[in-house]
Amino acid sequence: MTDRIANAQLRGKVMSADEAAALIPAGAQIGFGGFTGSGYPKELPKALAARITAAHEAGEDFTVNAFTGASTAPELDGVLADVNGIGLRTPYQSDPHMRAKINDGTSYYIDTHLSHSAQVVAEGFYGKLDFAVVEATRITEDGSIIPTSSVGNNKTYLDCAEKIIIEVNSWQSLDLEGMHDIWNGYLTPPNRPIIPITKPGNRIGDTFLTIDPNKVVAVIETNDPDRNTPFKPIDDDSRAIAGYLLDFYDNEVKHGRLPKNLLPLQSGVGNIPNAVLDGLLNSDLENLTSYTEVIQDGMVDLIDAGKLTVASATAFSLSPDYAHKMNDEAARYRNSIILRSQEISNHPEVIRRLGVLSCNGMIEADIYGNVNSTHVAGTRMMNGIGGSGDFTRNAYISAFVSPSIAKDGAISAITPMVSHVDHTEHDVMVIITEQGLADLRGLAPRQRAKKIIENCAHPDYRAQLTDYYEAALKASKAKHTPHDLARSYDFHRNFLENGTMKLS
Ligand code: 0RQ
């Protein structure tokens, strides 16, 4: 047995994943640890999927409701979705198999802001949580849990669940201990105190998760890597988009609207945000800070280069090489990295106080600046809103980035009216594509439309968009936000009918 389980009572609970899965009944509500492919349980979900398969073969109904921090990996979302094992999934996911089950109607999906996802469980909106299943790098003598590469919603799930299952993963570095910051002061209203974070580097809590050891029904020993995916090499479009954003920040500094070392940065996941981080690495900016949700490769490079002094997040989202590096050198990195619960990493109060600069990907934006982050053609769920709403609504400057076209030009990322709204025109300040940047601050809707079409739309779609705008201006009785409702979804309709947004 591993020496990572120092508590005698919990050593007595060690069993196989199959034995632990046998404790979970059909219909169970399970709070899984894990966030963007980091720190999720890796063996119990596989064993549970096998149990579900056996039940289905015997003609029994068997699904569970799965609550997580954010996306997980094939070993959790993938295996359970594959066996039609998930009745309800929340909050963020990005696994192709899970996505397919949501879109074919097998699983319900509730897409909620990541900063809200713990409180809705704690406040009982979903009913009671039966199990918390979390990963630990070790269990201390008094039965506390040292988390691994993410914190996510672990604290709330462990507090709320009736029963706890812990995977102790020897693959995770013991040197992660000390990196986490678990604040126990977050209560339900009306007793909520001020969150005492005034700088991204403030530590306000414990380095461990406190649990009731009597709730632990199983401890599983594992030795499995996080399933991190490598980033694609930075392409020309991503580099161009990153360049526009950095020039924009530079101009804000010149006009005295941003300090020389900017403000704490939030960066979404994906290749464009990673290109932004790469651009920062090659800039002469110094003493940068980050108050964000995930730590990507680019942030690790910025720390190594001495340009980023502190990064606060709830999880890592690293390529396999960088995950190994983090494991090897966690003792050094924990001086500049803090992993918090996601309701704190994404908390509107802190984001607004710090004046975070947000940058997130989008599916589409409309000519007035409403943004759709989640639904293709208004109905097909991609991943979920994730933390983009938490940061965008409360940022000092909120930016959205995307190539101006998708699917070889069949789709325009700028449309007359978004087919689903995640971020309203009131929240969106800057839109950037490889064509250019539209600074929407201080612009009224008609001014925004012109700027977005001119600066961000792909040349193949500019005339079509201008045509729509001019027709809308004529057709619309009210001229504040001109729309021709009979035509506003022509782009999407044409795509669904003919496979392209190009109108003949
Ligand atoms: O599909 O992979 O089949 O080619 O969407 O698009 O351009 O590679 O961009 O990986 O950054 O994802 C909005 C989904 C963008 C992401 C979204 C297709 C495109 C491609 C991916 P293929 P790209 P990205 C912090 C913040 C919400 C959550 C968030 C996201 C695939 O950024 O999930 O911001 N955001 N969280 O071809 C049809 C369009 C399309 C389209 C792109 N208009 N119509 N398909 N695609 N635009 C992180 C967390 O919260 C955890």
* Contact in structure between 48 and 83 (CB atoms under 8 Å): no
Radius of gyration (Cα) for the chain, nearest Å?
Answer: 23
Interval between CA 361 and ligand 1 midpoint (Å): 6
**C-beta 164 within 6 A of ligand 1:** no
**C-beta 373 within 6 A of ligand 1:** yes
**C-beta 268 within 6 A of ligand 1:** yes
Atom of ligand 1 nearest to the CA of 361: 32
The encoded tokens of residue 219 equal 């401890």
Residues 6+ apart with CB under 8 A from 480: 444, 445, 446
Residues 6+ apart with CB under 8 A from 367: 414, 415, 416, 448, 449, 452, 453, 465, 468, 469
Q: Is 31 annotated as a binding residue?
A: no
Which residue, by CA, sits nearest to atom 42 of ligand 1?
363
Q: Is 363 annotated as a binding residue?
A: yes
The encoded tokens of residue 103 equal 């879109």
- The pLDDT tens digits of the residues spanning 251-265 come to 999 999 999 999 999
Residue 249 confidence (pLDDT): 97
- The pLDDT tens digits of the residues spanning 4-18 come to 999 999 999 999 999
Which residue, by CA, sits nearest to atom 11 of ligand 1?
270
Interval between CA 484 and ligand 1 midpoint (Å): 28
- What distances in angstroms separate CA 469 from CA 157, 391, 448, 472, one per listed residue? 48, 30, 11, 5
pLDDT at 101 over 90: yes
- The pLDDT tens digits of the residues spanning 343-401 come to 999 999 999 999 999 999 999 999 999 999 999 999 999 999 999 999 999 999 999 99
The encoded tokens of residue 296 equal 């990507």
| Active-site hit among 135, 167, 293, 434 | 293
Q: Is 385 annotated as a binding residue?
A: no
- Rounded to an integer, the average pLDDT of 425-449 is 98
- The pLDDT tens digits of the residues spanning 191-229 come to 899 999 999 999 999 999 999 999 999 999 999 999 877
Per-residue HEC secondary structure of 420-469 comes to CCCECCCCCCEEEECCEEEECCCCCHHHHHHHHHHHHCCHHHHHHHHHHH
Residue 378 confidence (pLDDT): 97
Ligand 1 pocket mutation, candidates 265, 388, 433, 491, criterion most atoms within 8 A of CB: 388
Residue 271 confidence (pLDDT): 84
- Rounded to an integer, the average pLDDT of 68-77 is 97
- CA–CA dist 222, 170 (Å, integer): 6
Residue 136 confidence (pLDDT): 98
- CA–CA dist 245, 233 (Å, integer): 19
Q: pTM to 2 decimals?
A: 0.97
Residue 228 confidence (pLDDT): 77
- CA–CA dist 347, 37 (Å, integer): 21
pLDDT at 1 over 80: no
- Is 329 among the residues known to form the active site? no
Ligand 1 pocket mutation, candidates 379, 382, 422, 461, criterion most atoms within 8 A of CB: 382
- The pLDDT tens digits of the residues spanning 142-165 come to 999 999 999 999 999 999 999 999
**C-beta 337 within 6 A of ligand 1:** no
ipTM above 0.90, yes or no: yes
**C-beta 364 within 6 A of ligand 1:** yes
Q: Is 453 annotated as a binding residue?
A: no
**C-beta 386 within 6 A of ligand 1:** yes
- CA–CA dist 329, 233 (Å, integer): 24
List the domains of the chain with CATH numbers: 8-222 (3.40.1080.10), 236-498 (3.40.1080.10)
The encoded tokens of residue 132 equal 């918390």
Residue 57: what residue type? E
Q: How many residues are listed for the chain in this entry?
A: 504
Residue 229 confidence (pLDDT): 78
**C-beta 383 within 6 A of ligand 1:** yes
